[in-house]
Structure 1
Amino acid sequence: MRALAAKLAAQMKKLRIQLFWAYLLLFTLFLAVALAAFALVRQLVTGQIGAGRLDVLRQIAERASTIKTSGITLSNLYFYELEEQGALEVEPGAGEDALTAYLDRQKAKYDEVFSQIGIDNEVLFTQPQGFCYDSGQAVSFEALGQQLWYRRLLQSLIANPEEEVQFSRTFRNDFAPAPGGARYQFAAGRRMEKADGSAGVLLVLLDEQLLEELYAPALGEGGEIYIYDQDGFIVSHSNKKMLGKQFVNVDNMRSMYGENRYSVIQKLGQSYLLSTYLDEETGWTIVEEIPTDAIFGVLNQASMILGGAALAGLAAALAVALYMSARISRPLTELSDAMDAFGSRNFAELSANTGTWEIDHLRESFNHMAVEIFHLMDAVQERERQKRVLEMNFLRAQINPHFLYNMLFSIRCTVEIGKNRQAAQMITAFTDLLKSTLMVKKAAVPLEDEFESARKYLVVQKLRYGDKVHFELDLGPGTGRCQVPPLILQPLVENAIFHGLEAKPSADMVVVASALEGRELVLTVTDDGAGMDAETLARVRAKCRSTDLGDGSSIGLANVHNRIRLNYGAGYGVQLDSEPDIGTTVTIRMPAVWEKGEESDESADC
């Protein structure tokens, strides 16, 4: 035995070590796969978002190109108008009013056309010692000549005469007062030379706001979109302080990040998704910077949670591996012996094999014990079923004598007062009633049959009482085929007549009704009899809910209440409401139950 115990201990130790490394390796593999999957998902999301943002920038560039092209087109139109009207030869005070009026009319026409694509513009024409024109800004041409952007534009036009139309940097318009303060604009400019070599300058001014409106809807939380030209000057930016500044080194920008590409960069200690798109037609580059936190917020949170979970999981893996290896190997033999003893009541010698036999034997022992327990449960359930059947039979047997006594008493009273014909009719109706009620052996009958039995009983009582008894039977929609315990309405109708109508000379009505309320069936028996005061009502209610029937009063109520509770549970039964000299209402509440295959048909009637 000692050798066997030593061998078993060695095997359990080896099994414990194997389980430990198996659990640890499995968890480590799972963690590695989860981290790799997370990195792959992050890379895929970055690619999809980056490609999507480049497409957005491309659309912005196309619309920005429309604005720039519109500036060139307007410059050409006004150039030809000025040239055709000989604006360079018009001297101040000699025909300039007519030329100004003509240009105003032409501008109104052009504005009507270009307003359809959302292009607003202003026109300036200036020349030294000659005709000058502005489109209603009240321009200070002297202040215009001092503008740095204007002088640089003139230098560029002189240095590059092959480029007829050139664009200025974005500037703050301080030389033409406007409602709401100065605006930020950029200009399409061109020279118009005289024969003597002097020149005038035509400027078409466009608001920088036109560009900002293109990309403002695409701005995300914390992001920036800006446009710079081929020299690195900011053409449009949501931060107006940046406008007109040479913020970007174009060569460095393109060498580091390329053209029409996206990349993740670090800026001021924060990570951004940088996307750039170069529009070859305009020479403008659209740049978008979005904080990666705004894009990968959920993924970053998941990575932090995953990292924390990885550290916690690694520690837990060590603990779980140690615990599970010990938990499985150490008590395995002891549990097997214990269950074997429990199942067969006979202690067997321990097996020298590994845990396979022990686990199989544990399963067999458990199955054996489960079968035994199921047999015991079946026996208990069968005893409970028989007990309930006996109780139900007792309750039905209890109400039969009470019902027979009252009916025979009614017939006897009819005979004693000499109404032999009515007595014979009552006996005939009573015989028919016995066949349809007391001879029923089923545990449940359709409610429509129970209503018919109640009707027959009321017919018998009407033969006895004559006009003293009137009744109405209201079988609600969808309730006729509901299954109910037999003889549950007759005792309530009987109480309504003997304790309600008889006690009040003017009472003569009993109403029996049924209705569905959700999945419940509700039956009511109402009379307009004497009713009960609060003390009597409380006493009757107490007797109704008591299994001790005492002197036999209210036996019908108690009997019906107890039968319903036995069939459907404590949540159902009889409810009694009454008021003195007004009447009494007895309400039965139970589940709505149909025979198999009938529920759908009945529900359709509701």
Structure 2
Amino acid sequence: MNVFRRLAAQWAERYRKMSIQMVLSLSFTAVAAAGMLLMSVSLIWRFSAVNEQLVAENSRRVLAQANLNLDSYLRRMMRISDTVYYRSIKNMDLAEDDLTGDLSLLYEENRDDLVSLAVFDGEGALVSAVPLTALKRDAETADSDWFQAASRSMENLHFSTPHVQNIFDDPDYPYRWVVSLSRHVQLTRDGATEGGVLLVDMSFSGIEQVCRDVTLGSGGYLYLIDGDGELIYHPRQQLIYAGLLEENNRAAAAYRDGSHQEKFQGRSRQVTVKTMGYTGWKLVGVAPAESWFAASPQLPLFGLTLLLFSIFLMAFLNFLISARISDPILRLERSIRELDKGLAGVKIEEGGCYEVQRLNHAVASMVSTMRHLMDDIVRQEGEKRRSELEVLQSQINPHFLYNTLDSVIWMTESGQQTEAIQMVTSLARLFRISLSKGKSIIPLADELEHARHYMNIQQIRYKNKFTTEIEARPGTEGLYTLKLIIQPLLENAIYHGMASAEDDGLIRVTAYREGEDLLIDVEDNGLGMRPELAASLLDEDRPEVRTKGSGIGVRNVHQRVGLTFGEGYGLAIFSEPDEGTLVRIRLPALDREEAERRRQGEEL
């Protein structure tokens, strides 16, 4: 008993002589080590199991949705096939009637999803086809897999794997990837029936788009295979075909529907399989083991419990040592609170024990450093903002310049000297305004003049397929604007709004003032679009779609205006199908002085 008392007295004496660093180190090290060990074991065991289940459930849910989308897409193709067969082929005698008209109407209604519709007789001879009508000289229709499959199983619909369309001559798209839907049909000729095959070539891009939009969390992905394990779609398909990447698709073909654990190339991962009806294709979702530890709904509650437990232990230990260190720490805390309120000239007292004195000195040094860092951050943020604007502004696709120069060469060679001179003159003035001596904010008159020269060039190129009206209403004189914001919208209106215009296309640019704002409307009378599609064009989370155009696009202009002038400024899109589209740019109404101040701010 005396031994324990003596040992306790010795430890008490040592404790009194210990520095605060030693006391805190020993106390919190012991508590933290025990607590962290318990938490680590519990955390690893609990969340490994829970998150693995969550990942599996999420993968099954995502695959079910992808299967629903693909099934919907394939069913639409099946309905097209049924429409051709039951409403046209069965009601026509080929000796008297022509299928081309009905096929053309059906193709026009579904041209975004279809590549071609074709009907062949039992020997493989072409009966009717749209829009591609010329067979390749070496085409062996009767020996094609889709023809043989339809001839063998007359009661079923047959989906092929993706392949390059190799039956018809297609000068515009010689290597277009398609999925072929074929079926056996009964043709009537002079009152007698004979066998034939209906071929529906659907665009592979529709299937690819459905699969590409699927996400399976951090590091996860989805791919599509047929019943034999052949890849139909993979996000890294080209790398796999090039031999630079491997996939365990052959093994996945043998998996039953559900989630499976596998080890591939030394990495553990979860594979979820969903078989599609009609085709026998399989959707395969891959989630690497690292994603199992992603945050789950139970994480906040579990973390909060651990946090409260840790706070209780630390509060208990702080109570034991507060008599020695509380006063200097409280004075330091009050000083920090005053600093947090933004008060200037706060003095950090350097009292207390040696360790607290060093802490006070470190805090005072940190405050000084933070003030310098804040100044540096303000300067760096300004530089970052200017860099972002320069990057957005520099994304001008050179194709417009190339195409314009090609047109000049063609006009010169064909003797159209006047048009060539006019186009070169407009091009030179356009680029002179584009440079603007390095300035990003230019007079509104220069921006409209830039748009006018751009449309002069486009009207020559498109042989006056459309007309242009550019107007600056009273009240806009002397105002300034961000440069190169109208041209991308005009380019978008030409390539999309005027795509089907013949000679009655109209593009109107109107600049006018509304209170303290400058509005610029770019309006066309083209095809227009659905309101929900127009509303999604400015969504930053919307996947980028590469279409023919400048490469800047409406979203780029929207971002540039927002970065330059802040929230409340940017683009708004109003459109209705067959009613045209109006894109409105909202900017602050800058006079010469305000524009000059903004320029100077960008140069600082």
Give TM class, smaller chain. 0.3 to 0.5
Of the two, which has the highest radius of gyration? 1
Q: So what's the TM-score if we normalise by structure 2?
A: 0.37
* Structure that is richer in helix per residue: 1
